[in-house]
Amino acid sequence: MERLGLIAVGTVAHYIPCTNKRTFGCAEEKYFLSLKHKTPVLVFRFEFLPYFFYFRLIVSCLTRTNKEWRVLQDNGLCLYKNVACFAYKLHAVALAVNPSSIQLQVFQPTNISVTKKVALEVRKIITHLLNDLLENYHKKIDMYTVGFQCSKQEVFHEHDDCFVKEEQLLKEGTMLCPKHELNNSHILHESTLLFYWNQDVLAESTDPDALVENRACRNLPEPEMRRYRVQCFEKLTKSGREALQMYFDKVFPPAELFMLLQKNKENLRKQFNTDQCDLLFPVDKSIPTSSAFDVTIMYKLLRNYGPNLPTPTKGWGKTPDPGQKSPTDDVERIRVYRNEVEHKTPATSVMEKEDCRLKWRDLCQAILRLSEGSLEQDIMELIY
């Protein structure tokens, strides 16, 4: 059985998937469905799919993956007759088999978004294992089609009337769902179904026109719409602060940051006010952390103490032009837009559509560059 790939041999116990009769119950399903942050369901649709092929895939997941990949545990291993649940880089991964498909979904159990990089790594792992297994099988199962569930997002159930090919969605970009064109008609966006699963797909939220598509506000009178745009932009600047912190932590890793602060303690006390110094030099002698710093503190430290950082294209303290995209240009963008929000005047308490369009796109792209795309979902959630 080991030679056939139907048993996972362990040091303490062995696992034989085909003998597992444990049912994935309502309680388990309810838990996963309750999680807010998850990817769309990635579907590998087969013309012919024997169950033992899925069993071999599970054995491969247990024996041929790296140490970061392990089985989830909850009063025992989360392995069931038709579902296997794994943990990978602080994410939960569900792999389910149905009559004609193997389905994959990644969840984030904590109150943060799924990391796109992790989802792409999970897809790569499963695809590699699938393709390796297919090389040794009969021609009838040498073909699968990759796609998604167009509406229902339940990895544990196969929705045959909801399957949409990835190839078709990539080609069309935005399209009327080919499965539901009458009573249940709806629009499919590649940026909604694919951006976790495809390296080159960006979130729709990089397009500021998506603001007016928010169903809760699309019918607002223009004066209220202007104020709504300001509220959305204020939330976007908070994501800007997160992106700035990600970049800051690369420039000043925690251990190096502590040494830098101690070395320049006298000068820093002259450059920062009392409240800021309390964050840089905590009274309880704890190690300072960037999570407590605001945009001003991080900006000043980057500008004055960043090791070998290039000067922004137009210089420090100047607003960069749209085509200027160095990391320090993006640092300046985040500072500028944060100041606009923090020091709002009556004249800037509302935002015209064209003004919002330009600023939204400019700031979104700066956030995506500094965060290396990891904040895409956070930006999307500001709108949808």
90 located within any domain: yes
Tell me, what amino acid is at 307? P
For the cut 80, the answer to whether the pLDDT of residue 382 exceeds it is: no
Q: Write down the pLDDT at residue 381.
A: 66
- Stronger pLDDT, 353 or 142, i.e. the higher one: 353
* Domain edge (last residue) among 193, 225, 248: 193
Angle between helices 295-305 and 222-251 (to 10 degrees): 40
CA–CA separation, 29 and 154 (whole Å)? 9
Alpha carbon distance, N-terminus to C-terminus of the chain: 49
222 located within any domain: yes
Q: For 174-223, what is each residue's pLDDT tens digit?
A: 778 887 777 777 778 777 788 889 887 765 555 555 544 444 455 667 78
CA–CA separation, 372 and 330 (whole Å)? 12
Place of tokens 């003004």: 355
Q: Are residues 102 and 218 in the same domain?
A: no
161 located within any domain: yes
321 located within any domain: yes
DSSP code of residue 8: B
Residues with Cβ within 8 Å of 61's Cβ and at least 6 positions away in sequence, in order, are: 69, 84, 86, 95, 126, 129
CA–CA separation, 306 and 298 (whole Å)? 10
Q: Are residues 220 and 364 in the same domain?
A: yes
* Domain edge (last residue) among 170, 193, 216: 193
Q: Write down the pLDDT at residue 263.
A: 94
Where in 150-258 does DSSP place strands (E)?
163-165, 174-176, 187-189
Whole-number CA gyration radius for the chain: 25
Q: Are residues 93 and 57 in the same domain?
A: yes
Q: Are residues 217 and 100 in the same domain?
A: no
Q: Are residues 153 and 285 in the same domain?
A: no
Residues with Cβ within 8 Å of 316's Cβ and at least 6 positions away in sequence, in order, are: 303, 328, 332
Q: Write down the pLDDT at residue 179.
A: 78
Is the distance from CB of 86 to CB of 92 less than 8 angstroms? Answer: yes
Q: Are residues 160 and 301 in the same domain?
A: no
Q: Are residues 168 and 238 in the same domain?
A: no
3 located within any domain: no
* Domain edge (last residue) among 140, 169, 193: 193
Q: For 153-176, what is each residue's pLDDT tens digit?
A: 889 988 878 888 998 888 887 778
1 located within any domain: no
Q: Are residues 95 and 126 in the same domain?
A: yes
Q: Tell me the residue range of the domain where 86 lies.
A: 17-193
pTM: 0.57
- Between strands 174-176 and 187-189, the pairing is antiparallel
CA–CA separation, 165 and 181 (whole Å)? 16
Between the alpha carbon of residue 292 and those of residues 167, 210, 298, the distances in Å are: 44, 32, 10
Between the alpha carbon of residue 135 and those of residues 16, 47, 100, 247, the distances in Å are: 22, 16, 19, 43
Number of separate domains in the chain: 2
CA–CA separation, 256 and 261 (whole Å)? 9
Q: Are residues 147 and 292 in the same domain?
A: no
CATH number at residue 86: 3.30.310.200
Q: Are residues 133 and 78 in the same domain?
A: yes
CA–CA separation, 48 and 101 (whole Å)? 9
Q: Are residues 256 and 341 in the same domain?
A: yes
Q: Are residues 246 and 311 in the same domain?
A: yes
DSSP code of residue 255: H
What does the angle CA 191 – CA 194 – CA 198 come to, to the nearest 5 degrees?
Answer: 115
Q: Write down the pLDDT at residue 383.
A: 57
338 located within any domain: yes
